[in-house]
Amino acid sequence: MKQRRRIYYSESQKALMWERWRKGESLQHIAQLFDRNHSSVQGILAQTGGIQPAPRQRSRLALTLAEREEISRSLVAGDSIQSIARRLSRSPSTICREIKRNSGQAGYRASHADQLAWDRSLRPKVCKLVEHRMLAHIVANKLQLQWSPQQIAGWLKRAWPGSEDYHVSHETIYRSLFIQARGALKKELLEHLRRTRAMRRSRHHTQKTDDHGRIRDAVSISERPATVEDRAVPGHWEGDLLCGSGGSQIATLVERQTRYVMLVKIASKDSETVVNALIKHAGKLPQELYKSLTWDRGTEMADHKRFTIATDIAVYFCDPKHPWQRGSNENTNGLLRQYFPKGIDLSVYSQAKLNAVARRLNERPRKTLDYETPAERFHRTIASTG
């Protein structure tokens, strides 16, 4: 069988790959720059889990190539180690060690010694989760509960405020998962992340397209009161549909101030069915905690006027191609994909199951809440309004 030719990339080509990857470009687009298949680019990026390695730098204290060339010339001329050290303003012991570790006086070559020094300088730091196995065990348990690395890192600081041994950054957790050579966390734990991909993606990467229809008499988000925008007052929600296979979907609702999540079972995507389900669900909350709803431009809310008349809840719509205007809901939909992966039939889940998943999310600590849980904040809000 004919072997495929091995593909090599120069350092400048690799730097261009990482630059485009950080900007969110796909593997296919990056590979087109080099007229190669995307798998060859993926092989480079996957070595470090899609996380660009920090650029290596020589220590300012290390001998330079010019100094090594001076040592080589001086040895050929028969100069003593002391005289070489004086000319280079280095310690004689530094010159002596340099010569001994690089083939001795007879075999010393400047370029070869410089390359060996560069190779020997690669000493990867031992990961904290490898050194502290109890901490790694705690992190693994929380990952299995679908906590994000950032939530785990914040919770650890609250749980052990005075113990640095039990503090670890979320970036260290991500790197331990994506770079398996570290040997800290098992690869199987990746399936518990919000995104189950095996490589870190740029925050700029998106595959979402604008296929939303037009809605008559839609009230723009620009007309929403300022008190909603700054999250100063509770009772303002963001909503959207989370879609599955076979046209199945569930409605997702997030309270802006507390990030409290509610899920609503939807029989079909037509506007009448969606609005009927939302009207019924709105009756479960007091009016003080459900004042407005900000929705995407999906046509499932074309009947928004009937919803407002029935519930006295104002509905605002995001601008086209501006999903971040309901960022809390977008973030929540990403979290929900851990429980409802793309391509599964959502119609098989009962309302009781949806309530259980919402409760699971509401009991996870959130960075934006100073690592309190949405449930804690929401129930405190209920108590203050009651």
Same domain? For 282 and 381 the reply is: yes
Does position 11 have pLDDT exceeding 90, yes or no? no
pLDDT at site 378: 92
Same domain? For 241 and 355 the reply is: yes
For the chain, strand residue ranges (E) read 236-243, 249-255, 261-266, 292-295, 314-317
Global pTM value? 0.52
- Residues counted in the chain: 386
Structure token digits, residue 104: 């001795």
Per-residue pLDDT tens digits for 255-285: 999 999 999 999 988 899 999 999 999 988 8
Contact predicate 243/341, CB 8 Å: no
Count, in order, helices (H) and strands (E) of the chain: 18, 5
Asked, for residue 248, whether it belongs to a domain, the answer is yes
pLDDT at site 204: 63
Same domain? For 249 and 311 the reply is: yes
Same domain? For 251 and 350 the reply is: yes
Q: Distance between CA atoms of 228 and 220, rounded to whole angstroms? A: 13
- If one compares 97 and 15, the residue with the highest pLDDT of the two is 97
Does position 209 have pLDDT exceeding 50, yes or no? no
Same domain? For 181 and 265 the reply is: no
Per-residue pLDDT tens digits for 120-147: 877 666 788 888 889 989 999 999 898 9
Same domain? For 162 and 274 the reply is: no
Helix axes 65-77, 92-100, angle to 10 degrees: 80
Does position 185 have pLDDT exceeding 90, yes or no? no
- Number of domains making up the chain: 4
Same domain? For 238 and 364 the reply is: yes
- If one compares 218 and 5, the residue with the highest pLDDT of the two is 218
Q: What proportion of the chain, given as a percentage, has pLDDT over 70?
A: 91
Structure token digits, residue 262: 């509610």
Same domain? For 91 and 228 the reply is: no
Contact predicate 135/168, CB 8 Å: yes
Same domain? For 146 and 116 the reply is: no
Per-residue pLDDT tens digits for 242-262: 999 888 999 999 999 999 999
Average pLDDT, the chain: 86
Domain limits for position 233: 221-385
Same domain? For 172 and 94 the reply is: no
Q: Is 293 exposed, middle or buried (0-12, 13-18, 19+ CB in 10 A)?
A: buried
Contact predicate 251/277, CB 8 Å: yes
Does position 208 have pLDDT exceeding 60, yes or no? no
